[in-house]
Amino acid sequence: MSKGHSIFGFVCGVFAFAALPAQAVTLAECDRTIYISHGGESDHRDLGAGRVEYVEWWSQEGVFNDIVLANCESGTFLRTRVREARISDRAPFDVSKKTRKLIDVELTASPALFSFERLADALKGTGRDIEIAQLDAEPCACAAQYPALRGSKTPFEDIQ
């Protein structure tokens, strides 16, 4: 797997073929285990202005937590690793609280001033493996909070 891609993303891609039809969901329903008991999404929250946040997690023979922020309309997302142990050769770390505080400070900026590039700069030295990329599929939190912003992205499908 290339750097910046999570095991979670790989697992979701492998099991996407078994998806059920898209259905209306709430943020609470987006918190779910996606791969047996080893990986999932949690802590979904609406950030306003068409943006959402959630945590992708993994916990088999190692753990990680990635915070993901997504712009539901453009499909742009930022992912940063905030917790890791026994996943790589790196020393274990947990910068979850510090990273969340930095994100919350950046979110106080006017929507016109907020950008994932600016947030990535603010997270340098705290978050790890910061990645800004483009979504092809709608995340659950976007389906729950901003379904009208889906555009041409593949609609969210619950893969449970």
Could you tell me which residues come within 8 angstroms of residue 104 by beta carbon, excluding any fewer than 6 positions away?
A: none
Residue 60 is predicted with a pLDDT of 85
**Per-10-residue mean pLDDT, the chain, length 160:** 45 38 75 83 94 94 95 97 94 96 89 89 93 95 96 79
- Alpha carbons 21 and 8: distance in angstroms, whole number: 21
Residue 24 is predicted with a pLDDT of 62
Taking the CA of residue 138 as centre, how many other CA atoms within 13 Å lie in the half-sphere pointing to its CB?
A: 27
Residue 23 is predicted with a pLDDT of 54
Residue 11 is predicted with a pLDDT of 42
Residue 147 is predicted with a pLDDT of 95
Residue 150 is predicted with a pLDDT of 94
- The answer to whether the beta carbons of residues 81 and 3 sit under 8 Å apart is no
